Structure formats: structure tokens, C-alpha cells
Amino acid sequence: MTKTFEVIKSTGAKEIFKPEKIKATCLRIGTEPTVAEKITQTVTSKVYNGITTAEIYKLVFELLKQEGHALASRYSLREALFRLGPAGFNFEQYIANVFNAYGYKTELPDLLKGACIKHEVDIVAEKDNRRFMIECKWRNSLDKIVIAKDVLATWARFLDLVEGAALKYCPHFDEPWIITNSTFSADALTYGQYKNIAMLGWNYPPQRPLPAWIDAKGLYPITVLFNLSSEVLPKFIEAKIILVKDLAILSLEEIKQQILLPEKILIPIIEEAKEVYKISDNYHN
């Protein structure tokens, strides 16, 4: 009989260790099946009762790094989304890019006037003659989640804008969205589901959470790149280069025209971006 182990999540909750989840993750990021199986077996042999998910992450990360930095970069997506801070605006720009790749027209608007007050709306997205109000809830750590009051505030904002549109103060919105790089509390999900708010997070909805949106089209943020320091990141954001795939298809000369940095800094970043993009391109074609 196979021995089972309990894994402790970042929230303190416990769950049974499932090696198939490691294999599925490795395959999702483009790891060769034989390599994915080898990594799964290695990690499984090191698991013990009470191991944390953070420890498992480090084990998988180091094994992937031995196979190639590009695979480890793709695996580090969650940490990369944390690096999009500190204020959250970069996350808004990134999500707008993700939605653009799925055929939405997006903008990051100025204040919009509702029936009662003006509102800051992170993203306005349009597709198939429908307009969506998107609230982006960026979090900088695993223990900071989206709670019920965040969802309540979004719903109140949406209702005021709907009333404002009836008074011709602002455009009409058909649906509100809440998107986070973190998770939702149980109450947040209950209220959001009751009000039919579209909610997208790290592990929600289960059938197609945010990582699935990203993996499906290789929409990795440039913060997955190990050679991109936090000091250099703002220069790329200012140049509106926020996706690895956008960076990978540009030549060194094109990038130098937009970003004033020495070649010795730019070249390693570009080469790593091309390698990560190559895996994505091969995986999705």
C-alpha cells in the first residue's frame, strides 16, 4: 500500500500530497514527458509528512533549473506576478495585455463618473459588443487574499456606473470582473457567484484559472526572466514591453531605441526571453 503524506499549504491548511500534480505542472510549462516523470519521482522520494508547499516548490524549481533556466523561468510564474508590484499598476498593464491576446480591446481609463461619484476603474475591456469593468487585485504574497469586502466594493462600483450610464455620465458596462494573482476567500467567492461577478484568480475557477489563461498562449510577464533585475524592470514597463513574447521578437537594435541600457545588460535579458519564448512557441504549435 502506497504511503500518503500530508502537505501544509501557505494558509496552514493540510492536504494529501499528490505527485500527479507535480507532473501535470511540469508538462504544462513544456517539460518533456520523460523529464517530468523523472522530476516527479525525485520530488516524491524527498517528500515527508508535514512538508510545506513552499519546500516542494523549491525542490521542483531546482530540478527544473538543472534542465534549463527557461523551464525554471516558466515555473516561477507565481513569483513573477508578485514581482509586478509594488503598487499594482504593472499588474493592470499586464492583465490588459493578456486580454488583448484573447481578442479584447482594452484601455486603462481615467476616472469614470457614476450616478453618485467618480470611480477609478482599472481596465475597460470590450469584446463581441459587450463592455466589461475589470478590477485588478494585485497581491505581493501568498497570505494576502481577496476578501468579501473587495468583492462588495466592486459590485457597488459596478452598480453606480450602470446607473451613471443610464444618465449618460459614462459608458454602459455589461459585466464586472475581479482578477487577482492571489486567491479568493470563501465569502468572496460566495458573494461573487451570487452576483454573477466574473472572478479570475490563481486557482479559480478550477477549470480555467489565471495560470491557464497565461499558459495557453505563452503570455508570460517579463518578470519571469532571472536576468531582469528590479532596477531595470521599470525601463521595460515604460517602453510598454511587459510580455516575454513581445521582448523575444524584437531585435537588439529595436530594443536599444526604446530602452537606454548598455548591451551587456540587455543581451542576457533578450537571450533568456528568446529561450523562454522558444519553449512556449514549440509547446503551443
**Interval 12-35: pLDDT, tens:** 889 999 999 999 989 888 889 999
Helical pair 19-28 and 53-67, crossing angle rounded to 10 deg: 40
Quick count: other Cβ atoms within 10 Å of Cβ 132? Answer: 20
Cα separation, 88 vs 110, in Å, equals 16
Buried (b) or exposed (e) across 144-179, using 16+ Cβ within 10 A? Answer: ebbebebbeebbebbbbbbebbeeebbeebeebbbb
Quick count: other Cβ atoms within 10 Å of Cβ 108? Answer: 15
pLDDT value of residue 34: 94
Query: What is the per-residue pLDDT across 129-146, written as a single tens digit (0 to 9) for each?
Result: 999 999 999 998 878 999
pLDDT category of residue 281 using cuts at 50, 70 and 90: low
Query: What is the per-residue pLDDT across 162-211, written as a single tens digit (0 to 9) for each?
Result: 999 999 999 999 999 999 999 999 999 999 999 999 999 999 999 999 99
pLDDT category of residue 85 using cuts at 50, 70 and 90: confident
Least confident window among 64-68, 163-167, 218-222: 64-68
Query: What is the per-residue pLDDT across 112-122, written as a single tens digit (0 to 9) for each?
Result: 999 999 999 99
Closest CA to 208 of 176, 179, 249, 240: 179
In this prediction, residues 84-95 reach a mean pLDDT of 87
Cα separation, 86 vs 102, in Å, equals 26
Residue 2 pLDDT greater than 90, yes or no: no
Contact between residue 119 and residue 112 where contact means Cβ atoms under 8 Å apart: yes
Residue 228 pLDDT greater than 50, yes or no: yes
Angle 30-80-284 from CA coordinates, rounded to 5°: 25
pLDDT value of residue 258: 92
pLDDT category of residue 282 using cuts at 50, 70 and 90: low
Residue 69 pLDDT greater than 90, yes or no: no
Cα separation, 11 vs 18, in Å, equals 18
pLDDT value of residue 141: 84
Closest CA to 228 of 109, 80, 88: 80
Average pLDDT of the residues of the chain:
92
Let me know if 240 is exposed, middle or buried by CB neighbors in 10 A (0-12, 13-18, 19+): exposed
pTM: 0.88
Higher per-residue confidence, 86 vs 32: 32
